Amino acid sequence: MTNSYEVLFIVPPTLADESYKELSNKIESTIKSKHSSEIIKFEKWADRKLAYTINNHKDGKYYLLETNCSPECIKEIESILSFEKTSVLRFIVDKIRKRKVTK
């Protein structure tokens, strides 16, 4: 059973492009190849000043991922993001609930 998820993660502004590409390729291959799921949107959201210093960083690059995948796939994405301590400052995963429209 697939659900809709939104994943927001923050990387340091000093992260090299090739390190980000490696991270994003790992996430994309997990979703598409390993779990045969769909990526709806994967984009850079913003460069922002952080509310507080994280690992001596005052700024961060925010990336947003929307996907339809299984809970097992999301658990694997969470483990990838939590394992990449030098590449990912923080992340959050949110399950998107479909709303019923009433008339």
- Identify whether 47 is part of a domain: yes
Q: Which parts of the chain have pLDDT scores under 50?
A: none
The overall pTM is greater than 0.85: yes
CATH number of the domain enclosing 39? 3.30.70.60
- Identify whether 63 is part of a domain: no
Range of the structural domain that residue 28 is part of: 3-58+69-96
- Identify whether 7 is part of a domain: yes
- With tokens 């996907």, the residue in question is 67
The confidence score (pLDDT) of residue 9 equals 95
The confidence score (pLDDT) of residue 84 equals 86
The confidence score (pLDDT) of residue 40 equals 92
The confidence score (pLDDT) of residue 18 equals 92
List the one residue out of 92, 77, 67 whose CA is nearest residue 3. Answer: 67
- Identify whether 92 is part of a domain: yes
How large is the C-alpha radius of gyration of the chain? 15
The confidence score (pLDDT) of residue 97 equals 84
Domain count, the chain: 1
Q: Phi, psi (5° rounding) for residue 17?
A: -60, -40
The confidence score (pLDDT) of residue 100 equals 66
